[in-house]
Amino acid sequence: MRSRKRSDGPSQTAGDGETAEAEPDGGRDWRKRRTRRALINAALALLEGERSFSSLSLREVARGARITPAAFYRHFSGMEELGHALIEDSFESLHEMMRKARAGGLPSTRMIRASVKVFLDHVGAHRAHFSFIAKERFSGSTVIRVAIRKEVRLWVGELAVDLSRFPALGKFSAEDLQMLAGLMVNVVVAASELVLDTPPKDKEALTRIYRHAEKQMRLVMLGAGAWDSSRSSG
């Protein structure tokens, strides 16, 4: 790449998508961030198949990013640090989706289908990220599992807050809202895992998974409607 010198000073760009170069500098900083991205993307690409993170080798990832193994260490202290970067990258995608979904309005009975679709579409559109999360959720090293669990708990908590604003759920105690949110997250997580195991082209199978999850969600909502927190402690 030729360097396009723009003396805007040292660029301090924070946002970066996969191809974002709204402010390409061509400088040393920019090149470094670019290689870091290449490493993360190389790892995600390797993980999109049936490989698990713990089975990836440092050399393999470096190869995928077209740098020598030694250069890997200019970006991460080792594979574990790369793992953390992958978690961050993956959940950023999830948070973004949550933000969008929340902007669309609170879940209600008639919104179940739409919510399930939004979420599962997002999973299908970010297979590598969610495939990584699904695999490492139980298989990863302790630190990685703990990091994922923390993010999931945060997510459940956010959903519980959203639900609390929903008048029909006024009967729910704070604890029971967490329980309900956990159940709803279970439903979409289980469906996500099926989505990840279905080829994107198999629309029919995907539709079946969507409908299944939607039904489960609706049944859960029916249960929530009949729930009475004051009786739930026995």
Footprint on this chain of DNA (rule: CB under 7 A): 3, 10, 25-29, 31-32, 34-35, 57-60, 66-75, 78-79
- Answer whether 3's CB lies under 8 Å from 28's CB: no
Which residue lies nearer to its own copies by CB, 13 or 141? 141
DSSP structure class, residue 109: G
By CB under 8 A, tell whether 145 contacts its own copies. yes
By CB under 8 A, tell whether 212 contacts its own copies. yes
Q: Which ranges constitute the DSSP H helices of the chain?
A: 28-47, 58-64, 69-72, 79-103, 112-125, 127-139, 142-164, 174-196, 203-226
Radius of gyration of the CA atoms of the chain, in A: 21
Which residue is it, tokens 């200019």? 74
**Shortest distance in whole angstroms from residue 83 CB to DNA:** 12
Residue 20's alpha-carbon distances to 16, 42, 89, in angstroms, are 5, 17, 14
- Answer whether 28's CB lies under 8 Å from 60's CB: no
By CB under 8 A, tell whether 158 contacts its own copies. no
Which residue lies nearer to its own copies by CB, 164 or 232? 232
**Shortest distance in whole angstroms from residue 211 CB to its own copies:** 9
By CB under 8 A, tell whether 160 contacts its own copies. no
Q: Which of 69, 104, 105, 223 binds its own copies (CB under 8 A)?
A: 223
Which residue is it, tokens 């009967």? 171
Which residue is it, tokens 């959720």? 137
**Shortest distance in whole angstroms from residue 18 CB to DNA:** 16
Q: Which of 104, 105, 200, 225 binds its own copies (CB under 8 A)?
A: 225
Which residue lies nearer to DNA by CB, 32 or 215? 32
By CB under 8 A, tell whether 226 contacts its own copies. yes
DSSP structure class, residue 23: S
Which residue lies nearer to its own copies by CB, 136 or 151? 136
